[in-house]
Amino acid sequence: MSKITTATLLKYKQEGKKFTALTAYDASFAKAFDEEGIEVLLVGDSLGMVLQGQDDTLPVSVDDMCYHTRCVRRGISRTLLIADLPFMSYATPEQALGNCAKLMQAGAGMVKMEGGHWLMPTVKMLTERGIPVCAHIGLTPQSVHVFGGFKVQGRDQDNAQRIMDEAKGFEAAGAQLLVLECIPAALAKAVTEAVSIPVIGIGAGKDTDAQILVMHDVLGISTGYIPRFSKNYLKQTGDIRAAIRAYIEEVQQGVFPADEHTFN
């Protein structure tokens, strides 16, 4: 199969074809996910919670991210690989540029950043310098203490409008992908239709262009609870590769996420 690029994902959106994404942190799982047809792998700073046993993602370092990005890169041949910039590694444009360079040199094909309007000049600067960016809005886990916990965002009119404005602003700044996390399904649908770049949802309903889940939740082995918006596919299938295939099929068919995985 040919390699997945941002152009591939844009074509999928234009054709109305759903695609799937998963987190990955090592070569072995990455290879299996790649072979089963996952289009996008994310080396997420979620590794702080699922691998390191932290309470949140804040302790993760750039060195942690580079190490796991190198591991995942060795396991894949076709999947688009995205790597998270961890907490406080992109507070200034100059800091972001240096740390993005490290992640790209480690094997990432794109970097992901959480933020709002303050981040848009940085995104513009990075894309002008050849670094593809995925913007992450809605519930941004690095801001968990500002939100007062892992809470659904965009439920009131003002915050819904802010999220819509952020989505359009990041597209204008040059972001090539957008992640929406934990927002009402109707808002996610409106955002997906309002921007021309592909939108990946997690806890954002079934009308986004794609879905992403944490691999440990898909396999039912997270150290904490499995979020409402996720699904244990290993319990359903009894086999890891079959679980991944079931996840892909249900996303493509519009079966997942179902109502019980969705915020309204």
Ordered mean pLDDT values, 10 residues apiece, the chain (264 residues) = 93 98 98 98 95 92 98 98 97 97 98 96 97 94 55 88 97 98 96 98 96 95 80 95 98 94 87
The 3-class secondary structure across the chain, one letter per residue, is CCCCCHHHHHHHHHHCCCEEEEECCCHHHHHHHHHHCCCEEEECCCHHHHCCCCCCCCCCCHHHHHHHHHHHHHHCCCCEEEEECCCCCCCCHHHHHHHHHHHHHHCCCEEEEECCHHHHHHHHHHHHCCCCEEEEEECCHHHHHHHCCCCCCCCCHHHHHHHHHHHHHHHHHCCCEEEEECCCHHHHHHHHHHCCCCEEEECCCCCCCEEEECHHHHCCCCCCCCCCCCCCHHHHHCCHHHHHHHHHHHHHCCCCCCHHHCCC
The two three-digit tokens of residue 195, written as one number: 């921007």
Catalytic annotation on 181?
yes
**What is the pLDDT at residue 66?**
98
Number of domains in the chain: 1
Q: Which amino acid is at 213?
A: L
Range of the domain at 72: 6-261
Confirm whether 249 is domain-assigned: yes
Confirm whether 120 is domain-assigned: yes
Confirm whether 1 is domain-assigned: no
Q: How far is CA 148 from CA 97, 151, 194, 245, in A?
A: 30, 8, 29, 36
Cα–Cα distance measured from residue 56 to residue 75, given in angstroms and rounded to the nearest whole number: 27
Confirm whether 125 is domain-assigned: yes
Confirm whether 197 is domain-assigned: yes
165 closest CA partner among 154, 177, 176, 155 = 154
Confirm whether 14 is domain-assigned: yes
The active-site residue out of 114, 181, 193, 250 is: 181
Confirm whether 136 is domain-assigned: yes
Neighbouring C-beta atoms of residue 241, cutoff 10 Å? 12
- Decide if 48 contacts 68 (C-beta within 8 A): no
Confirm whether 65 is domain-assigned: yes
Cα–Cα distance measured from residue 166 to residue 140, given in angstroms and rounded to the nearest whole number: 13
The two three-digit tokens of residue 41, written as one number: 């792998």
**What is the pLDDT at residue 143?**
60
Taking the mean position of all CA atoms in its chain, how far away is CA 153?
Answer: 16
**What is the pLDDT at residue 115?**
94
**What is the pLDDT at residue 146?**
53
Alpha-carbon torsion, ordered 83, 45, 209, 176, to 10 deg: -40
CATH code: domain of residue 118: 3.20.20.60
